[in-house]
Structures are given as C-alpha cells and as structure tokens.
Structure 1
Amino acid sequence: MTPLVAAAVLIAALTHASWNAIAHNIPDKLVAFTLIGGGAAGIGAVLACFTPVPAAAAWPYLVVSGVVHVAYKLLLMRSFQLGDFGQMYPIARGTAPLVVTVAAAAFVGESLDAWQATGVAVASAGLVGLALWGIRGSGTTSRAEPGAEPRATPHWPALLAALATGLSIAAYTVVDGVGVRNADSTLGYIAWLMILEGAVIPAYALWIRRGPLLPELRRHAGLGLLGAVLAMFAYGLVLWAQTRAALAPVSALRESSIIVGAAIGTVFFKERFGGPRMVAAGLMVVGIGLMLHAG
C-alpha cells in the first residue's frame, strides 16, 4: 500500500463517517436513505454519460453488489433506528476487516505476511472493543439521553442489526474488489453501481409513502444530497484503492472511520465516549500502524 493509496483510503474513511452521520441525523431514516440513494443514482447517471461502460466480465459482480448494497442500506437504516450512532457505526464497520481478510484469502488468492495479519487482527480487536462497550437498551430503542453513562449490557436487536450490516459490508467489499478489477474502467464501475443500487430505496419509499414523503424530502433535500455526494466520493476512493492494493489492508484501514464516527457521536450527538472506548481506539491505531509498516 503506497502513501497515496493510504491517504485516499483515510479520506474515504472521513467522508464515509460524515455521510453516515448525516443519515443518522435526519429523523426519518427512510427519507434519509431515499435522498442519499437517489442523489447517488443521479450522480451516477451523469457520470455514466462520460465514462466507458464496464467490461462484460464485471457485470455479474455489479449486479450482485447492487443487491448486497441495498441489503446493507436497509440493515444500516435499521441499526440507526435502534441505536446510538457512536455504537452502531463502529460495530457495523468493525466486523468487516476480519471477514474480508478471510474471504480475500479464500476467494481472491491474497495472502498476508505476519505484520499485516497481526495489524489486521489488532485493529479489528480494537474496533470490536470500541463498538461493544456501552450498547444501551431500553425496550424498542437503545438510544439514551445525551451524555448518559454507557452500560456493557448489549441491546440485542440493535447489536444483531449492526453485525448483519458489517457482514454485508464485508460481502460487497470482496465482490466489488474483484468486480472493479475486471471492469477496465473504475469510474464506469462506480457510475453503474450507483445507478443499480441507488434507485431501489427511493422507488420503494415512493411506492409505500407517495404524497406524505414529498414534503419530508423537500425539508431535508440539501442535507440528504450532501450525504449522497459524500457517499459516492467515499466509495469511489475505496474502489480506486482496491485496484492498487490488496483488499484486506484497504478494508482494515478504511475502518479507521470508526474513530471519526465515535468523535462525531460524542461532539454532535452528545453520546458519551468513555475510557474503555479510548483504550479500544488506541488498539485500533496500533493495529493500523502494524498493517502500514508491512506496506
């Protein structure tokens, strides 16, 4: 992993956490993901007019990725409905690196040296620790009063939704890592992926809500479309990085976004960070350092 690729992935981590925070901040999550998905599909349609169509070998991966991305957004929407941003976002992101490492070794033929394997393991342990401390649960929601002390008792529906989100992240990371390498055009692959997966949730929302949805879309349009731009930019950087570095280190470094997510949860959503999360965050930083030492 070159310094340029590492920098691109770190920028992607920052922008990814930002668009997720925007989605979490919009009270009606269906409205949030309608705006973000629809905006990304529109941007993808414009981009597709100026980029080569992906090679035929990439299309099976594009179709599968589109389906997985829709499942990912539905699961992410559900986890944001159930839990605090500073908890759900780390869990969702933190489960992916180890799964990607195993899948990349099994299906793509990538191997890790001792430094990389240790780095990915330590970083993932930090991510999981950061995520699991302080999941709050009370009936149908795990969201507590701002600044409340975290508890160690998980709210299982929220936890399961976030873990399932993480598995979907791992799945589309591997699928897209292979697909973009077969596309002959990174930008073309990005454009068509945004078109395929971005239009589904808006179509569903319009079907079930119709009239009542439109005023909410207008109210949050500016924020939602900003989220769409950030989402497309973040994933575009990741796909570009996957054409120039191994999937597992890219996936692990990308998950540094959970530090940004935890900070956003503390500063903007007034969610308590706490000492155990600081220790877990430190573990993650050490793991990333080991991983980059190998690169």
Structure 2
Amino acid sequence: MTLTVFLAVLAAAVMHAGWNVLVKLKLDRFLSLFLIQTLMGVMGLAMVAVFPLAAFASLPYALASGVLHLGYNLFLARSYRTGDLSQVYPIARGGAPLLTLCVTWFAAHEQVSPLGALGVLVLTSGIWLVSLAGKKQVRLDGMTLFFALGTSVFIAAYTVVDGLGGRASGSPSSYAGLVFVFDALFLLAYGVISRGPGIIASVAPFWRMGVAGAALSVGAYWIAIWAMSRAPISAVAALRETSILFVMLLSMRVLKEKVTGWRLGGAGLIAAGAILLRLS
C-alpha cells in the first residue's frame, strides 16, 4: 500500500470517527440514517455531474451496492433498537474486515501478501480488544445478535462490490456518486413506504446536522472507494476500521472518557496492524 493511499484511508477513518463523536441527531436510528443517506444522494448527484462518467460496466455494481446498503441500514437500525452501541458496534464493524479478506481471497481471487493478511488479523484483534475487553457483561439476545452479525455481512458484501465496481468504472469518484444516489433512492423509497410521506417533514428540522453527517460520510466512503481501486480491498477495509481508535482518542479529549489498560493494548494492536498494512 502506497503512502498516499495509506494516509488517505486514515483521513477517511478520522472523518468516520468525527461523525460518530461530534454529530448527534435527536432522532431514532432509522430516521438519522434516512436523513443522512438522503442528503448523501444529493451530494452524489453533484459528483456524477462533475466527474467523468463511470463506465457502463460498473452500473450493476452500483445498483447492487444500493441494495446492500439498504440491507445494512435496516439491519443496523434494528440491532441498535435492542442492543447497546458498545455491544453491537464491535460485532458489526469488527467482523467485517475478516469477512472481506475471506471473500476477496477465495471468491474475487485477489492476492493478499502474508504481511497484509497478518496486518488485517492484528488490526481486527485490536478492534475487538478496544471494544470488548474489560467489560464485565456483554450479552445480546438472539435477534439482536442475528442483526448485528447480519450487519457485518452486509458491510463486507458492499465493500467487495464497491471495490470491484470502482475498479470497473474507470472513474472511482463518479462511481462513488452513483452509489450515494442509489443508496439514497432505495432508502428514501423504503422510508416513505414504511413510515409515510410525513417522514420527510419529521427529519427536516435537523437538516444542518444532517448535512454535516452526510459530508463526513461522503468524504469517508468516497476515499475508501478510490483507495480500493489502488490497493487490495481487504487491506483498505481493515484500515478503515482504525476509526475505532480515533473514536477512542476523541472520546478521551472531547467526552473525557476513561481509557483502561485493555483499551490501550487494543489501540497498540490497531496501530501495529496499520503499520503492517502500510508495509505490505
């Protein structure tokens, strides 16, 4: 992985972490996702208009990504309805890099160096240690666990699809815009059908925070799609999850949260995994 790609993906991770810590919407989880995804669609239209058009061969990937992101949003919202963030997040995000590695290795036949594979494993171990170590009780009911694991599967699936789609597009930036548009259209349709047209009026007062969240989300995933066109998909997918490390650092600074020795050890593993990915 080149230094440029490495630093870009780390910047994307910081954007993701900043959204999680600094942007607070006073809405339920689904409405927050609905507002952000809708505004991301508007930004995606601007990207499609500005950048060279993506190759037609990438259109099926973008459509598939829209369907997978809809599944991801619905599963994530459902898992947060009955599970705490500290329980659901590590399962959803921590399992995805390993699933991505397996899919790209065996199904997409993408070559990953032994050092790169080791980096993914070390970084993923750090994610789980930061998220779960030292917790006296981490229990989920069966349905919450099902939706949390399902979320992880959707993350891995859309990551692989968008990595391949970005490569096939010839214009990763325009492809990313298409993905944001389709994501927004599918979730908009689902939201209006499931909750009625009034859903738009219910989220409108929060548009300022929605724009901030959408901008950070667009920047973070735009970079990821671009990076996956230049580096192994599994390596980028794992490096993106350093966002957990940045969330911990921001929590220390902004929220004054206490950080245990276990979490510091996990942070060390995340950093070591990131270094291995840079060297791979």
TM-score (norm 1): 0.84
Give how far 1:109 is off.
2.3
Q: How do residues 203-218 of structure 1 correspond to structure 2 at under 5 angstroms?
A: 203-210=189-196, 213-218=199-204
Give the SS at the match of 1:220.
helix
Aligned to 1:190: 176
Aligned to 1:151: 136
Query: Any conservation in 2 of the 1:16–1:234 contact (CA below 8 Å)?
Result: yes
Gaps of 5+ in 2: none
* Counterpart amino acid of residue 278 in structure 1: L
Q: Distance in 1 between matches of 2:2 and 2:34?
A: 36
Q: Distance in 1 between matches of 2:263 and 2:4?
A: 29
Pair 1:293-2:279 in alignment:
yes
Aligned to 2:77: 77
Q: Distance in 2 between matches of 1:99 and 1:45?
A: 31
Deviations 1:238-276 (A, max 9, x none): 011111111111111111011123445666677765433
Aligned to 1:231: 217
Give the SS at the match of 1:89.
helix
Aligned to 1:174, which of 160, 167, 178? 160
Give how far 1:225 is off.
1.7
Identity of aligned residues (%): 34
Aligned to 2:206: 220
* Counterpart amino acid of residue 100 in structure 1: T
Gaps of 5+ in 1: 135-149
Give the SS at the match of 2:138.
coil
Aligned residues: 279
Aligned to 1:117: 117
Q: Distance in 1 between matches of 2:240 and 2:44?
A: 22
Q: How do residues 1-295 of structure 1 correspond to structure 2 at under 5 angstroms?
A: 1-21=1-21, 25-133=25-133, 150-156=135-141, 157-210=143-196, 213-263=199-249, 273-294=259-280
Query: Any conservation in 2 of the 1:22–1:227 contact (CA below 8 Å)?
Result: no
Q: Distance in 1 between matches of 2:208 and 2:257?
A: 25
Aligned to 1:147: none
Q: Distance in 2 between matches of 1:285 and 1:131?
A: 15
More helix by share: 2
Q: Distance in 1 between matches of 2:240 and 2:76?
A: 17
Deviations 1:98-120 (A, max 9, x none): 11111111233222323222221
Q: Distance in 2 between matches of 1:80 and 1:184?
A: 37
Give how far 1:211 is off.
6.2
Give how far 1:42 is off.
0.9
Query: Any conservation in 2 of the 1:180–1:239 contact (CA below 8 Å)?
Result: yes
Q: Distance in 1 between matches of 2:31 and 2:185?
A: 13
Query: Any conservation in 1 of the 2:58–2:165 contact (CA below 8 Å)?
Result: yes
Deviations 1:4-58 (A, max 9, x none): 1011100111112333456764332222112101101111122222333321211
C-alpha spacing 1:101/1:208, structure 2 compared with 1 (3 Å):
closer
Q: Distance in 1 between matches of 2:33 and 2:23?
A: 7
Give the SS at the match of 2:107.
helix
Give the SS at the match of 1:26.
coil
TM-score (norm 2): 0.88
Per mean C-alpha deviation after superposition, the further-off stretch among 234-243 and 51-60 is: 51-60
Give how far 1:86 is off.
4.2
Aligned alpha-carbon RMSD (Å): 2.5
Q: Distance in 1 between matches of 2:211 and 2:96?
A: 27
* Counterpart amino acid of residue 3 in structure 1: L
Q: Distance in 2 between matches of 1:81 and 1:70?
A: 17
Query: Any conservation in 1 of the 2:24–2:209 contact (CA below 8 Å)?
Result: no
Q: Distance in 2 between matches of 1:56 and 1:39?
A: 25
Q: Distance in 2 between matches of 1:164 and 1:264?
A: 28
Deviations 1:149-192 (A, max 9, x none): x4233223444433221211111111111111111111210111
